[in-house]
């Protein structure tokens, strides 16, 4: 995946308020996400994922599911 050092941004983009720019970028990302097979994951990201998976597999008891964490949070909130 080659990167283009020259950015082509429509002038109208700069005229939008920040919320409009964020919405525009989200729309662009939605278009990109429509073709997930065309998105290449960098090797550095793959290595990080492999390291995290290996760490999880080495000590899974140290992790907790979302439902356990959520229940603990709700218990604490009820006590408040």
- Give me the residue spans of the domains in the chain: 10-39, 40-80
Q: What is the pTM of this model?
A: 0.45
CA dihedral sign of residues 4, 25, 39, 45: positive
Judged by DSSP in three states, 65 sits in coil
Note the pLDDT of residue 61. Answer: 67
Regions in the chain scoring below 50 on pLDDT: 1
% helix / strand / coil in the chain, to the nearest 5? 70, 0, 30
Residue 40 gets which letter from DSSP?
P
Evaluate whether 60 touches 52 at the Cβ level (below 8 Å).
no
Note the pLDDT of residue 56. Answer: 82
């Amino acid at each position: 995946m080659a990167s283009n050092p020259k950015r082509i941004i429509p002038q109208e983009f700069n005229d939008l308020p920040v919320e409009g720019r964020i919405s525009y970028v989200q729309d662009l990302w939605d278009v990109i996400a429509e073709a997930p097979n065309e998105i290449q994951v960098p090797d550095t990201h793959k290595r990080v994922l492999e390291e995290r998976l290996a760490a999880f597999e080495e000590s899974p008891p140290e992790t907790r599911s979302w439902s356990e964490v959520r229940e603990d949070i709700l218990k604490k909130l009820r006590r408040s």
